[in-house]
């Protein structure tokens, strides 16, 4: 352990999304669902202390809070420092140690399973997204450049996303000559509104380079807080699945990506307030426009987001079946109609009107992209509603294209 790294003025920050599970009659195992850290056994009191590692309170302040909030309990700052060092050693804190561990030039595949080591097998699976019944067929041409500004694609696993992926990517490959793709994906593992990375993405089909100069231009206009969460991109599938498919289809055609994760905008939904009036959202829209304006090459956006998530898996009491599925499908149609108008405000209002009770996870990346690109019109290319055989869940998703 490295106790010396934590003095009285240290402000340790526990990582987001960790899980404490009962480990024994009087203890817990604190573990990391995304697999970066090793598990650590903690007493109930240690859990209480760790929960106060908010990145803002010093060790002395944490000790004082504990004395007030847990009468009769005294925890010296030195003991808190020892706990912080143990958690840091296990990579459970947001710290220089964690950043150094994750700070590699290339991000390795995290979400492909055994297919990550078998390009031939994966290529067959991806081809099936185009050639299966209902699929659009493989792209016939590349880069015709017909004014395509953005495409919406699912980020469900390939098996369930199926031919909807094919419809989105056929449109993308055939109708843009872009050399830079801004991939705007739903962030599933971070509380931060926006997270960028400068890492390149390794795929079974070769390396995909991140346009680091483009990333730096966004950062210059928005601020360096887009790098505050070092974990967000590591386990995230919403960027990876799109990049792998893009590389598979592009082959030797040169291109670069700009990987941007977008967190929840539920605060705007709750207030039914125009997202463009939120300072950070408006600043990111302006940053994206400025970064594109300074790019000498054609740019296209790729939105990675799904639609409704309903059923017991997501906290609903009723099964995803029968009339409820039909009702959700009808509401999806209303939301998709606003996308065809290409208007970010109408799209947001349609989701906010139902307070996003169906958990449309593509809300933030789609709104941001529409606001940044200002397309003239949109077109829905395909729609699917995945339903678990026992009604435990239903996830819907669509392919759509947006034109200048």
What would the pLDDT profile of 342-386 be if each residue is shown by its tens digit?
999 999 999 999 999 999 999 999 999 999 999 999 999 999 999
Q: Which ranges of 251-312 would DSSP assign to H, the alpha helix?
A: 266-271, 279-293
The mean pLDDT of 262-282, rounded to a whole number, is 95
The mean pLDDT of 100-123, rounded to a whole number, is 94
The mean pLDDT of 256-270, rounded to a whole number, is 96
CATH topology assigned to domain 3-101 = Outer Surface Protein A; domain 3 (3.90.930)
The mean pLDDT of 313-323, rounded to a whole number, is 95
Q: Do residues 294 and 216 lie in contact, with contact meaning Cβ atoms separated by under 8 Å?
A: no
pLDDT at position 117 over 50: yes
Tokens at residue 181, please? 């793709």
What is the spatial distance between Cα 244 and Cα 382, in angstroms, rounded to a whole number? 21
CATH number for the domain whose boundaries are 104-403 = 3.40.830.10
* 54 SS3 class: strand
Confidence at 272, pLDDT banded by 50, 70, 90: confident
Give me the pLDDT at residue 4, please: 52
Q: Angle, nearest 10°, between helix axes 237-250 and 119-131?
A: 90
From 1-5, 112-116, 324-328, the region with the lowest mean pLDDT? 1-5
Q: What percent of the chain has pLDDT over 70?
A: 98
What is the spatial distance between Cα 120 and Cα 117, in angstroms, rounded to a whole number? 9
Rounded to the nearest 10°, the torsion over CA 17, 18, 22, 23 is 160
Confidence at 143, pLDDT banded by 50, 70, 90: low
Token pair 């990987």 is found at 259
From 56-60, 139-143, 209-213, 290-294, the region with the lowest mean pLDDT? 139-143
CA atoms within 13 A on the CB side of 11: 4
Give me the pLDDT at residue 3, please: 43
Tokens at residue 77, please? 């700052």
Give me the pLDDT at residue 2, please: 43
pLDDT at position 169 over 70: yes
Domain-wise residue ranges, the chain: 3-101, 104-403
Q: What percent of the chain has pLDDT over 90?
A: 91
Give me the pLDDT at residue 251, please: 85
What would the pLDDT profile of 19-42 be if each residue is shown by its tens digit?
999 887 779 999 999 999 999 999
Sorted by sequence, the CB contacts under 8 Å of residue 105 that are 6+ apart come out as 199, 200
56 by Cβ neighbours in 10 Å (0-12 / 13-18 / 19+) ranks as: exposed
Rounded to the nearest 10°, the torsion over CA 212, 210, 363, 390 is -150
Give me the pLDDT at residue 142, please: 72
* Summary mean pLDDT of the chain: 95
Confidence at 306, pLDDT banded by 50, 70, 90: very high
Give me the pLDDT at residue 1, please: 41
What would the pLDDT profile of 186-236 be if each residue is shown by its tens digit?
999 999 999 999 999 999 999 999 999 999 999 999 999 999 999 999 999
Sorted by sequence, the CB contacts under 8 Å of residue 271 that are 6+ apart come out as none
How much helix, strand and coil, in percent to the nearest 5, is found in the chain? 40, 20, 40
What would the pLDDT profile of 124-137 be if each residue is shown by its tens digit?
999 999 999 999 99
Same CATH fold assignment for domains 3-101 and 104-403: no
Tokens at residue 295, please? 């790019």
């Amino acid at each position: 352990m490295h106790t010396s790294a934590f003095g009285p003025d240290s402000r340790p920050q526990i990582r987001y999304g960790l899980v404490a599970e009962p480990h024994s009659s009087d203890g817990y195992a604190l573990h990391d669902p995304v697999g970066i850290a090793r598990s650590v056994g903690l007493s109930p009191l240690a859990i209480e202390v760790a929960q106060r590692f908010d990145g803002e309170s010093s060790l002395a302040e944490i000790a004082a809070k504990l004395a007030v909030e847990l009468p009769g309990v005294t925890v010296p700052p030195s003991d808190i420092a020892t706990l912080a060092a143990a958690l840091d050693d296990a990579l459970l804190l947001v710290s220089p140690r964690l950043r150094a561990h994750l700070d590699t030039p290339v991000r390795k595949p995290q979400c492909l399973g055994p297919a990550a080591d078998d390009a031939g097998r994966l290529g067959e699976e991806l081809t099936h997204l185009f050639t299966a019944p209902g699929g659009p067929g493989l792209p016939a041409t590349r880069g015709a450049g017909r004014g395509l500004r953005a495409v919406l694609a699912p980020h469900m696993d390939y098996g369930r996303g199926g031919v909807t992926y094919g419809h989105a990517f056929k449109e993308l490959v055939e109708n843009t000559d872009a050399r830079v793709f801004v991939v705007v994906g739903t962030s599933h593992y971070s509380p931060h509104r926006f997270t960028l990375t400068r890492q390149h993405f390794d795929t079974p089909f070769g390396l995909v380079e991140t346009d680091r100069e483009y990333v730096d231009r966004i950062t210059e206009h928005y601020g360096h807080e887009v790098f505050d969460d070092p974990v967000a991109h590591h386990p995230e599938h919403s960027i990876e699945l799109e990049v792998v498919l893009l590389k598979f289809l592009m082959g030797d055609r040169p291109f670069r990506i700009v990987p941007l994760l977008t967190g929840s905008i539920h605060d705007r939904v709750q207030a039914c307030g125009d997202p463009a009036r939120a300072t950070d959202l408006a600043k990111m829209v302006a940053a994206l426009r400025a970064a594109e304006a300074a790019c000498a090459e054609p740019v296209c956006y790729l939105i990675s987001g799904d639609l409704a998530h309903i059923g017991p898996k997501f906290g609903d009491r009723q099964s995803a079946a029968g009339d409820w599925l039909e009702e959700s499908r009808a509401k999806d149609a209303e939301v998709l109609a606003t996308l065809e108008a290409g208007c970010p405000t109408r799209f947001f209002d349609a989701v906010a009107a139902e307070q996003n009770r169906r958990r449309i996870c593509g809300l933030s990346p789609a709104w941001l992209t529409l606001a940044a690109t200002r397309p003239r019109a949109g077109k829905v290319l395909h729609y699917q509603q995945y339903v678990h055989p026992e009604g435990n869940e239903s996830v819907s998703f669509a392919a759509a294209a947006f034109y200048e």
